[in-house]
Amino acid sequence: MIEAATPAAVPAEGGAISIDYEVKNPVEGKRLSAQSDDAWVKELTVGDEAVTARLEKNLLADPRTATVTLRYDGAEAVKVSVVQEGYLPFLIQVADITMSDARMTVYPEEEGMYIAAVDFAEGFDAQKIAAENKAIFAEHAAAEQKTLAEFIAGYAYKGEQTFHPSRLSPNTDYVVYVYGIDSEGEATTDVIVEPFKSLPVEPGPMVDCKIDIVAENLTSTSVKVVFNPSDPTVQYFYTMLDQAGYEDISKDWPGYIYEYMVSQLTDDGLPLSTIVMLSCSVGQQEVQSKTLQPETTYYACAVGVNSTAMINTEVAVQKIVTPPDSPIDYGFDFDFGEVTATGARVTVSPRDVRAFYYWNVMTEEEYGEMKGDESKIAAYFEQKMIEQRKAQMGDYADWYPLPEFIASQCSSGFDGPDSYTFGTLTPETTYYVYAFWVDEQTGEPASVTAFSESPFKTEKQVISAAVAKPSLWLTDGDDWAELNPLGYGHFKGYAILGARIAPAEGAVHWYSNIYKASDIASTDDQLLASSLINSKYYMDKTSYNLSYGVEWGGDYVIVSVAVDAAGARGPVQRVAFKAEKSAAEPLESIPGE
């Protein structure tokens, strides 16, 4: 019978081992024999009390085990396991772990280049990473017009190195991996891996704020959600989640919020506090969700967030279950009142809160030409939008995509009935109210046009005797700049247009503005008067100056109109002039200062 002791594990560097043994009831003249089929076990020698051998250096990262078989005639053979530790060409130290950062230090055992990086533990394959990196390095080398060797020489590490990952996700498993590399991108060592886990995000100091969430106007595909915090100064983040998203995020709200905010950081971008401010809201907010699915569960959620991206209130949740799919009602209800010679109050109520729509009024003549012809209405609408975009944006109109401009002119059913008081209608004219749904992406009509069942007719225009006479007040921008260089230095070299208004008896209110002569050459008095009154330009001012300068020599017109106690306007007053420097009045002080 053979008894043998298992030796202690041998370091990767190799060296001598000794296997102590004893043969029970030995027979004179017989000797113990030892054998191993593992080539790295060398110089196997049998002594009187021990078997010795020398192990070669283990160049692999994994430990390895050899078997030494001891035999003696008449006794059962004994197999002894000899374990040698794996060779670690690199020692990896991970310290100072936080929820988004860690400090990695690599201590190489030998000289040479190596790659060190951090990756997600899930899906990481140490057997494939070197080949995957080589392909990536080749792409970068080509993009930078370098050889692969040149790129690796500038990218790989040498000697002891400490580095930080770009940014970690909280409460996540990672690995630091390191391997030697040659100039051709091939691994020269095994890939050494050190796992670690980032810390979870904890809530910040809590504040006394409760966020109420109310769902309104729920349909099978849309809802309006109102978020209302009890403290209007607390900034909060809100979102709408489906069932799967809610279950996932609810596992770690602090981590989700922190990761969302931190993911927007860049090396040369905004600070975290500003990102939080821009991503969050304060006070009551109304949010429209228009792309929901029928018979589906959603969760409207909100939570307070401090300037360091940590939550500081309880998470408010409102469960929302959409009803079965319901047909869309594309209809509208119309109401109008307060009709005058040039104005009327009109209210349009969509019958479906999902409506995204445009509405306006058209004359009886236009109604007769277009009713029932949707192609004509679509062309009429497009041309109207093009002209309106030009009127609002001038020379910059073509820079603003027409679909986006159209969307800005539309109304939403989520906001309830839409009312507007017109002020520039034509007297003694019959109007119909019309409305249709609009495609938010293309800006094109998306439904049949609905018209009011009955029209309304504006009253007869009564022109009163109310008058506010304008006169020119032209000054030199050089005088403004000299009197106040800091405030009006930009006036230098320009004409500053202005007017004085003298209201006559009977003028209760008056309005005025200055136009380029070419801009209003074909504009009638009715439209000018309605525009001035409706926009309240320089209302009841006895004098005014425009807030910008113009080139000398241009042709302009001062326009004014007054209304009496009954609200009836008087005749439109026009004073044409040329902005000539010889007509400028000297300026001794800045008006109003």
Rounded Cα distance between 90 and 94, Å, is 13
Three-state SS for 172-203 is: CEEEEEEEEECCCCCECCCCEEEEEECCCCCC
Task: Count the Cβ atoms, other than its own, within 10 Å of residue 518.
Answer: 11
Residue with tokens 């005639």: 73
pLDDT under 70: residue ranges of the chain: none
Q: Is 393 helix (H, G, I), strand (E, B) or coil?
A: helix
DSSP at 394: G
Residue with tokens 């197999």: 79
Separation of CA 467 from chain center? 54
Task: Give the H or E element holding residue 79.
Answer: strand 75-84
Rounded Cα distance between 93 and 80, Å, is 35
DSSP at 386: H
Rounded Cα distance between 322 and 219, Å, is 6
Pull the structure tokens for residue 82. Answer: 């000899």
Pull the structure tokens for residue 56. Answer: 């070669």
pLDDT score for 391: 84
**Closest CA relative to residue 224, chosen from 409, 355, 327, 325:** 355
Q: Which CATH architecture is the domain 211-322 placed in? A: Sandwich (2.60)
Pull the structure tokens for residue 252. Answer: 């770690």
pLDDT score for 438: 97
pLDDT score for 462: 86
Radius of gyration of the chain (CA): 42
CATH superfamily of 2-84: Immunoglobulins (2.60.40.10)
Domain 468-583 has CATH 2.60.40.10: yes
Task: Give ∠ CA 258-195-172 in degrees, rounded to 5.
Answer: 20
Task: Give the H or E element holding residue 392.
Answer: helix 374-393
From edge to edge, which strands make up the β-sheet containing 509-516?
509-516, 555-563, 573-578
Q: Kindly list the distances between the CA atom of residue 274 and the CA atoms of 255, 257, 279, 302, 309, in Å, as whole numbers in the listed order.
A: 19, 15, 8, 19, 10
* CATH code, 332-457: 2.60.40.10
Pair 493, 478: CB distance under 8 Å: yes
Q: CATH 2.60.40.10 region(s) of the chain? A: 2-84, 90-197, 211-322, 332-457, 468-583
Rounded to a whole number, what is the distance in angstroms from the first to the last CA of the chain?
118
Q: What is the pLDDT of residues 534-562, one digit of tens each?
A: 888 899 999 999 999 999 999 999 999 99
CA atoms within 13 A on the CB side of 581: 9
Pair 292, 220: CB distance under 8 Å: yes
pLDDT score for 201: 92
Residues in the chain: 593
Rounded Cα distance between 513 and 532, Å, is 7
Q: Which CATH architecture is the domain 90-197 placed in? A: Sandwich (2.60)
Bridge partners of residue 512, in order along the sequence:
560
Find the farthest-apart pair of alpha carbons in the chain and give their distance in angstroms, rounded: 147
Instruction: For 96-220, list the strands marked E by DSSP.
Output: 103-108, 113-120, 157-158, 161-163, 173-180, 192-197, 211-216
DSSP-H helix ranges across 263-357: 272-279
